[in-house]
Chains A and B, each alone.
Chain A
Amino acid sequence: MAGSINKKKKITAGQIVNYLLLTLLAFICLYPFLNVIAYSLSGYNAVLSGRVTFYPIDFNLEAYKQILGKTQIWNSMRTTVLVTLLGTALSLVMTIFASYGLSRNDLPGRKFLTGTILFTMYFGGGMIPTFLVVKGVGLYDTLGALFIPQAVNVFNFIVMRTFFKNLPESLEEAARIDGASYLQVLVRIVLPLSLPIIATIGLFYAVGYWNTYFDALLYIQDPNKYTLQLRLRSLLFGEELNNSGANLEGLGTQVMTQSLKMATVAVSTIPILVVYPWLQKYFVKGVMVGSVKG
């Protein structure tokens, strides 16, 4: 790469500028998070007078105490954790089944079945017809509506199928000759070799479910089933966004202080920030496998 030649030379002015610009960019990416934390930990008067920018002023945990004392937040947190766990599990199993089955080149009907899946990338029924189906199968206003209708993502299927295709065939053949069933081969041989890709795709699904906002807006009516994102939206913006009569109950009806709002934002984002560094090393690989395209 370009870098290796320069190694022998001194660091140039261009290099320094490059480092500075990238540091600035990284700071811009991080600053909004700092801002959230600063507001959430600052005192009421400091926030009101507009003195908070980079770090907390009049440090206190009042906002967190308030937000964590609300049962609604805990309810929504529980709902979201449940949806994320169930959804990720279902999505992974379905995606693995689809990719494993359709990764073999001699399966009769493989082309037709793959085509059936890929076609949905380019054409779909759209919001209302899907809404009517979800309602029709009885998922409306249930947590199932938040993960069953979007169980398999075509992009993730392509990525995983590409990965399975590149696994050495000989391993599987040997196991088959020894009398292992396809399910045994999948569980004992294919999956252990595919942990990085499963971690990546699991992360994509989990983040997707954690962040789901629109599906919840569409399918959930009962405020007791609000997901974290939906709750967050109603706490942050009140009814302004949703003219159809958003359910503003409890917390939402009070005028929330900025500190409280930002503490809510922090609480709902922290779980992602916690798992992110653990999984980060995997997902870059996953995106690249996907970009090679099956």
Chain B
Amino acid sequence: MQKSKNLNRTLTKMWNYKWIYLMLLPVMVYYIVFKYIPMYGVTIAFKDYNVFKGVLGSPWCGLEVFKKILSNKNFWEAIKNTLLLNFISLLVSFPLTIIVSLMLNEVLSTKFKKITQSVLYLPHFISWVVVAGIATNLFSQQGGTINQMFHALGLPSVPFLSDEGWWVFTYVLCNVWKEIGWGTIIYLAALTGVDESLYEAAYLDGATKLQRLFYITLPSIKSVIVTMLILQISKMMTIGLDAPLLLGNKKVMGVSEVISTYTYRLGIERAKYSDSTAIGLFQSVINIIILLAADKFAKAIGEDGII
């Protein structure tokens, strides 16, 4: 009796909301078609995909594809490169972003601060094609602006883009250049929330600037720092395809071939649909495991989770 009353009430409510549901309809259709059907499509990782038979018609082959991939040297190379590039980028950009935020926070002139921020955010909005174009103009060994400056100073030229070690340096530099300003936004927001009376009390007690930094500022934004770090770590296995594909070249394939570029070359250029999908699936599963672990860890140390 009670149950049917509740059901009735829910149904009336749903009827009242019919126009809302109608608004949600295209969105849900979009998610089903472009997100959930491809999720079903990952089954081709377990199939011997045949273009003519399609996703549903191709015969199952169990874990054959995975066996093939896991024994491929290139696959492990791509994983190694993904982790390496992400790790070095994190190591450089993470502390640097915090330092720049703290520096911006110390600026007294609001005008100077605003202008600097505008300039620092700008590279975030530039496409990787343009960044790669500019980087080539600046860093190439022949005719690159930087090497010409070196030449004028009597220094030897540096293979920024054609030596594997230097390429990693250039890749990290471009990434830091593009995203460092943008990354400060979240810390600056946290820094404005720090209780000012704490600084005044510390100042009256004769605390030095450095003491104020270590005992007030950093502890106050600790939870943001931890959350950001965990978020970054949970993306360890993922690199967008644009940067390594556009900055990379044949000479540095040994470090620039990451998981995304590998799946692209395998899937699109060589039409090995099953192999490429299997690698993507492998990456997704690892990502979820890292994400869940990072979330557990965050909660265990008393911070907010990230899911």
B12 CB to closest chain A CB (Å) equals: 10
A102 contact set on B, CB distance < 8 A? 24
What's the Cα separation between A236 and B35 when bound, in Å? 33
B192 to chain A, nearest CB (A): 7
Interface size for chain A: under 10, 10 to 19, 20 to 34, or 35 or more residues? 35 or more
Taking a contact as CB atoms under 8 Å apart, the answer to whether B196 and A4 are in contact is: yes
Q: Which residues of B are found within 8 Å of A294, using beta-carbon distances?
A: none
Q: In the complex, which residues of chain A have a beta carbon less than 8 angstroms from the beta carbon of B268? A: 127-128, 131, 218, 244
A241 interface neighbour in B20, B246, B273, Cβ under 8 Å:
B246
A181 to B199, CA, bound (A): 52
* Distance in angstroms between the alpha carbons of A150 and B33 in the assembled complex: 11
Kindly list chain B residues whose C-beta atoms are within 8 Å of the C-beta of A123.
39, 284, 288
Q: Indicate if the CB atoms of A133 and B37 lie closer than 8 Å.
A: yes
Could you tell me the distance between the alpha carbons of A52 and B105 in the complex, rounded to whole angstroms? 36
Residues of A within 8 A of B145 (CB): 35, 50, 52-53
**Min CB–CB distance B214 → chain A (angstroms):** 13
B20-A104 in contact (CB<8A): yes
* Contact pick for A236, options B133, B203, B250, CB 8 Å: B133
CB pair A18 B246 closer than 8 Å: no
B252, chain A: closest CB distance, angstroms: 12
Q: Does B81 contact A (CB under 8 A)?
A: no
Are B118 and A1 in contact (CB-based, < 8 A)?
no
Apart from A127-B260, A148-B34, A211-B128: 5 A-B pairs, beta carbons within 8 A:
A18-B106, A32-B123, A126-B42, A182-B20, A236-B129
A29, A129, A277: which has the most chain B beta carbons within 10 Å? A129
Q: Scoring B residues 133 to 158 as 1 if CB is less than 8 Å from chain A, else 0, what string do you get? A: 11111100001010011011000000
B258 at interface, CB cutoff 8 A:
no
Asked if A21 contacts B191 (CB within 8 A), the reply is: no
A132 adjacent to B273 (CB under 8 Å): yes
> How many residues from B make CB contacts under 8 Å with A?
103
**Shortest distance from the beta carbon of B276 to any chain A beta carbon, whole Å:** 5
B92 interfacial contact with A, CB 8 Å: no
Residue in B28, B138, B152 whose CB lies within 8 Å of A32: B138
What residue in chain B is nearest A7 (Cβ atoms)? B108
Question: For the complex, what is the distance from the CA of A116 to the CA of B27, rounded to whole Å?
Answer: 11
Return 25 A-B CB contacts under 8 Å, by A number.
A5-B203, A22-B112, A25-B100, A33-B134, A53-B145, A97-B27, A98-B23, A101-B20, A102-B24, A107-B17, A108-B13, A123-B39, A125-B42, A126-B263, A126-B281, A126-B283, A129-B55, A150-B34, A183-B23, A207-B125, A211-B126, A237-B132, A241-B245, A265-B130, A272-B126
Partner of A244, one of B31, B105, B240, B269: B269
Q: Of residues 13 to 36 in A, which have CB atoms within 8 Å of B's CB atoms?
A: 14-15, 18-19, 21-23, 25-26, 28-30, 32-33, 35-36
**A60 close to chain B: CB less than 8 A:** no
Q: Is the CB of A2 within 8 A of B217?
A: yes
Chain A interface, DSSP helix/strand/loop, else mixed: helix
- Closest Cβ–Cβ distance, residue B271 to chain A (whole Å): 10
Asked if B132 and A50 sit within 8 Å, CB to CB, the answer is: no
Asked if B226 lies at the interface with its beta carbon under 8 angstroms from chain A, I say: no
Whether A284 sits at the interface, judged by CB under 8 Å, is: yes
Q: In the complex, what distance in Å separates the CA atom of A32 from the CA atom of B250?
A: 25
Tell me if A59 counts as interface (CB < 8 A to partner B). no
Residue A39, interface by CB 8 Å: yes
User: Is the beta-carbon distance between B118 and A149 smaller than 8 angstroms?
Assistant: no
Residues of A with C-beta under 8 A to B132: 236-237
Q: Are A2 and B199 in contact (CB under 8 A)?
A: yes
Alpha-carbon distance between A58 and B103 when the two chains are bound, in angstroms: 39
Interface residues of B in 91-140 (CB under 8 A from A): 100, 103-108, 112, 115-123, 125-130, 132-138
Is B159 close to A, CB under 8 A?
A: no
Residue from B35, B39, B100, B123 having most chain A Cβ neighbours under 10 A: B35
Question: By the criterion CB–CB under 8 Å, are A262 and B129 in contact?
Answer: no
* Residues in A neighbouring B242, C-beta threshold 8 A: 213-214
Contact of B38 among A1, A122, A124 (CB under 8 A): A124
A6 an interface residue at 8 Å Cβ cutoff? yes
**Does A86 sit at the interface, judged by CB under 8 A?**
no
- A-B residue pairs, 5 tightest by C-beta: A125-B38, A129-B41, A126-B280, A211-B127, A129-B38
Mark contacts of A101-142 with chain B using CB atoms, 8 A cut-off: 1 yes-contact digit, 0 otherwise. 110101111000100110010111111111111100100000
CA distance A116 to B246 in the complex (A): 34
The answer for the CA separation of A18 and B107 in the assembled complex, in Å, is: 8
A25-B196 CB under 8 A given contacts A127-B267, A288-B189: no
Q: Is the CB of B17 within 8 A of A122?
A: no
B126 touches A269 (CB 8 A): yes
What mask results when residues 179 to 214 of chain A are scored 1 for a CB within 8 Å of chain B, else 0? 001110000000000000000000000010011011
User: Given the complex, which residues of B lie within 8 Å of A218, measured CB to CB?
Assistant: 268
A23 surroundings in chain B (CB, below 8 A): 116
User: Known contacts A124-B35, A129-B44, A265-B130; is A15 also within 8 Å of B284 by CB?
Assistant: no
Interface centre among A21, A100, A123 (most CB of B within 10 A): A123
CB atoms of A128 and B134 under 8 A apart = no
